[in-house]
Amino acid sequence: QAFPGEDPPRFDLLLLGVGPDGHTCSLFPGHALLQEQHSLVSFLEDSPKPPPQRVTMTLPLLNAAKSLLVVATGASKAPVIKRILEQQEQPPVPAARLRPRSGRLRWLLDREAAAEL
């Protein structure tokens, strides 16, 4: 067992990105991995963008982190950043499901990515 104990390991800080579709960590909108509640790391063979085969951390592991920092740059990210931060979309895109237990979620945006806020 890589991580002893019942609880997932708690990374001090995870630095993440977000795609124009709201994906993060190879967790894509509508993908079955978004429902994973037990595995900390998983794989997918049907990624909607290349490469099709990937390994990723799951939401339980991401949300166990002490702090999450999501970085987004460029105008192509502006619409999804607005959707994520307004938190009104159902079902939420993967990056909107980032909810660290500690409450320490920070966004680092350039002017273009923040243009619609």
- Where helices occur in the chain by DSSP H, the ranges are 59-64, 78-86
Amino acid at residue number 37: Q
pLDDT in tens, the chain (117 residues): 566 677 788 999 999 999 999 999 999 999 999 999 989 999 999 999 999 999 999 999 999 999 999 999 999 999 999 999 998 788 999 999 999 998 899 999 999 999 999
Name all domains of the chain by residue range, CATH numbers in brackets.
14-114 (3.40.50.1360)
